[in-house]
């Protein structure tokens, strides 16, 4: 086994813990009793306040231009829609169904990113898309009782794809925690407006002690802390390695769902066949893409 620097080994452990924590997000969404919109409202409120505390502790300036603020603020609306749809998917189906549906993020990004950047869609991305579509179709076919939950999960993945592509441009000019901070503020404002229009703020939202406890974990550990840790490891690890390990999130989430909810998370064989196709394709995609990028070695002329 090749020797690895202690810094790389340490960051690999941190990244795996971070991805495991992200996988735990779905469990918390199922455990919290309030509806998806109010859940996201509390989550982003706790997250940006705790992130602001991090900036104060580290004495990091959070000043940005008006133009940047507006871009991040409006991107926050897409972030909010992504989270609401994700937790709604959990409420309408199961954690496993929601996580596998969210895995279609790779499909949407493979299609949207070349279109938005006016680039040609590669054959590998078309193949990847077709494989993921076939897996999702199989899940739809065998888990039709969760069709609305699956659609919510797919729409959540679409929103995640859009703001990820937007952030891929923003990250070139400013630190990721700053981007996250202003997008979280934007998300909180947009969810507040949504709740105000739908009279959600006027309706009594009772938080029992367990809801409050889980929301605090969700907002701090699973959002602010995990996000900062996820960004920090990129100093030592390659983007390819980070992307590959991040693909373990739905795997961790599904395993945790079985541990917490048992038979409630038990699906038909057709679901697992579809899930294997989707997750297997997602794991295979970065490997094939990496191989495709490597130049073919020239054969020496003897």
pLDDT of 101 over the 60 cut: yes
pLDDT band of residue 224 (cuts 50, 70, 90) is confident
Kindly report, residue by residue over 145-187, the tens digit of the pLDDT: 888 998 999 999 899 888 878 877 777 778 878 888 899 999 9
Q: What's the angle, vertex CA 186, arms to CA 189 and CA 24, rounded to 5?
A: 100
> Is 149 in contact with 87 (CB distance < 8 Å)?
no
pLDDT of 297 over the 50 cut: no
Kindly report, residue by residue over 83-93, the tens digit of the pLDDT: 999 999 999 98
pTM of structure: 0.81
CA distance to 69, 95, 203, per residue, from 108 (Å): 26, 21, 36
Q: Dihedrals φ, ψ of 119, to 5°?
A: -115, 160
Q: For position 8, what pLDDT does the model report? A: 66
pLDDT of 299 over the 70 cut: no
Q: For position 40, what pLDDT does the model report? A: 92
Average pLDDT over residues 201-213: 76
20 closest CA partner among 155, 160, 221, 159: 221
Domain positions in the chain: 6-290
Token output for 274? 């579809």
Higher pLDDT, 173 or 53: 53
Which 3 state secondary structure label does DSSP give 290? helix
Please list the helix, strand and coil fractions of the chain in percent, rounded to the nearest 5, in that order. 80, 0, 20
- Residue 17: count of CB within 10 angstroms of its CB: 12
pLDDT of 69 over the 60 cut: yes
Q: For position 96, what pLDDT does the model report? A: 83
């Amino acid at each position: 086994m090749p020797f690895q620097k202690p810094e790389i080994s340490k960051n690999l452990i941190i990244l795996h813990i971070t991805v495991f924590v992200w996988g735990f997000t779905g469990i918390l969404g199922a455990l919290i009793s309030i509806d998806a919109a109010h859940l996201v409202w509390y989550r982003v409120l706790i997250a940006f306040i705790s992130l602001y505390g991090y900036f104060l502790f580290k004495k990091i300036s959070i000043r940005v231009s008006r133009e940047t603020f507006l871009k991040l603020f409006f991107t926050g609306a897409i972030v909010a829609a992504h989270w609401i749809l994700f937790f709604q998917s959990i409420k309408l189906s199961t954690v496993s169904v929601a996580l596998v549906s969210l895995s279609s993020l790779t499909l949407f990004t493979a299609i949207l990113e070349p279109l938005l950047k006016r680039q040609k869609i590669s054959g590998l991305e078309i193949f990847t898309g077709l494989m993921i579509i076939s897996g999702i179709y199989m899940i739809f076919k065998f888990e039709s009782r969760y069709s609305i939950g699956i659609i919510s999960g797919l729409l959540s993945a679409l929103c995640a794809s859009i703001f990820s592509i937007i952030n891929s441009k923003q990250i070139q000019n400013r630190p990721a925690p700053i981007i996250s901070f202003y997008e979280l503020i934007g998300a909180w404002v947009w969810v507040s407006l949504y709740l105000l229009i739908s009279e959600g703020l006027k309706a009594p939202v009772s938080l029992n002690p367990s809801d409050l406890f889980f929301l605090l974990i969700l907002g701090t550990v699973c959002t602010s802390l995990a996000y900062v840790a996820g960004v920090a490891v990129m100093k030592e690890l390659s983007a390819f390695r980070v992307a590959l390990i991040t693909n373990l999130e739905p795997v961790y989430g599904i395993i945790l769902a079985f541990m917490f909810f048992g038979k409630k998370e038990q699906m038909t064989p057709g679901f697992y066949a579809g899930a294997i196709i989707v997750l297997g394709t997602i794991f295979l995609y970065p490997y094939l893409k990496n191989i495709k990028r490597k130049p073919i070695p020239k054969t020496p002329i003897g």
